Amino acid sequence: MSVRRGPRLPLEELQPYLLEAPPSPPEGPLVALDWSALFGNTNPVEIEVGFGKGLFLLNASAARPDVNFVGIEIVRKYQLFTATRLAKRARRNVRVACADARILLRDHAPSESVRAVHVYFPDPWWKKRHHKRRVFTDEFAVQCARVLAPGGHLHVATDVEDYAQMVREVVAAHASLRELPAPEEKGPENDLDYLTNFERKFRAQGKPIYRLLYERL
């Protein structure tokens, strides 16, 4: 996937948008992130896991300026690409981290501290020997339930029916997460009116999108 779309800004201009994840043991002690210190306010926090080119973060941060968004992406070039898009629009209610979301949530996200977790079009890792690389595992579901405040929501979207069924089976094992009716699919009003670039591509191809919504009890 190419990310060539305009020049990247100097790193010093991107710094306010970059979240450096604390080291995890054995490299260092466990350090919990302080959302209010990170953003300078006490607004609610939502996390996106695997933000790619950052379309959801761009749209959501503009639509809800009273919410703080944290994006976690394991690929460094996407972190810098998205930070550039955010900096050009001065979206100061977003921070983006280059990290393994499973580790960042487990080791650094405080319990019951976020209002929503968004997981959109995760890599299905088709081959059985690669399933261990999938972001959505039983442990990941445990951490989502832990970091969500009561009444918070877990949002999932995928174009892979088997992956959606796997998520259902994994989450069903956790009594603290209750499945809600999936949100209705709406027609886009413009070319950027999608959750992610993947959704735009898949819907243009006529592929079905499987959407899941859970509430933290």
Q: Which residues are known catalytic residues?
A: 123
195 vs 146: CA distance, rounded Å:
25
44 vs 66: CA distance, rounded Å:
8
CB 18 within 8 A of CB 87: no
Q: Nearest 5°: CA angle at 39, between 36 and 42?
A: 40
Q: Please report which residue ranges of 134-179 form alpha helices under DSSP H.
A: 138-147, 161-172
What is the enclosing helix (H) or strand (E) of 49?
strand 45-49
Backbone angles phi, psi at 46, to 5 degrees: -130, 145
What's the DSSP call for residue 23?
A: P
162 vs 159: CA distance, rounded Å:
9
Distances in Å between the Cα of 143 and the Cα atoms of 16, 112, 157 are 27, 10, 18
23 vs 30: CA distance, rounded Å:
8
CB 48 within 8 A of CB 95: no
